Amino acid sequence: MRALVQRVAEAEVTVAGASVGRIGPGLLVLVCAMQGDDEGQADRLAARVARLRIFRDEADKMNRSVLDTGGGALVVSQFTLAADTRTGNRPGFSAAAAPETGEALYLRFAAALRDLGVPVQTGVFGADMRVALVNDGPVTIWLDSAVRG
């Protein structure tokens, strides 16, 4: 699985003009299941995200996790993280998991974050979403659960 994690002051996702998820300080997590991914990878990636120390401590160092700060997570499915741009001008997405698998692993990832104690809001899998955020820092981190060739 792949995740693009952004430390945010706030973030919101809307579908057809209606808010479906909103957080204050915390993490916006764009997540994509890849072919071959399984529930174990979703759980491990959620644990990495929950413990990722990218929030400031008293000494202004990035030394605290979303668990330490009590922040929330807005988890949004983003199959385009599977983009292959090695050739041509049009990205290919064949490395993304099939939609049924992708949705199941996306939901598993969000549930695993909740189980770890992170308040979680989500987007709507497969929907045309609008995501608004105020990136704090800015801090943006790319995570991948597997090394791919």
**Under a CB-based contact definition with an 8 Å cutoff, are residues 82 and 106 in contact?**
no
What secondary structure letter does DSSP report for 115?
H
Q: The CATH number of the domain where 87 resides is what?
A: 3.50.80.10
In a domain, 147, yes or no: no
- Give catalytic residue positions: 78-80
pLDDT tens, residue order, the chain (149 aa): 999 999 999 999 999 999 999 999 999 999 999 999 999 999 999 999 999 999 999 999 999 999 999 999 999 999 999 999 999 999 999 999 999 999 999 999 999 999 999 999 999 999 999 999 999 999 999 999 875 44
Closest CA to 30 of 6, 1, 7, 3: 3
Distance between CA atoms of residues 29 and 118, nearest Å: 12
Distance between CA atoms of residues 50 and 52, nearest Å: 6
Residue 98: which domain range? 2-139
In this prediction the pTM is 0.95
In a domain, 145, yes or no: no
In a domain, 144, yes or no: no
Count of domains for the chain: 1
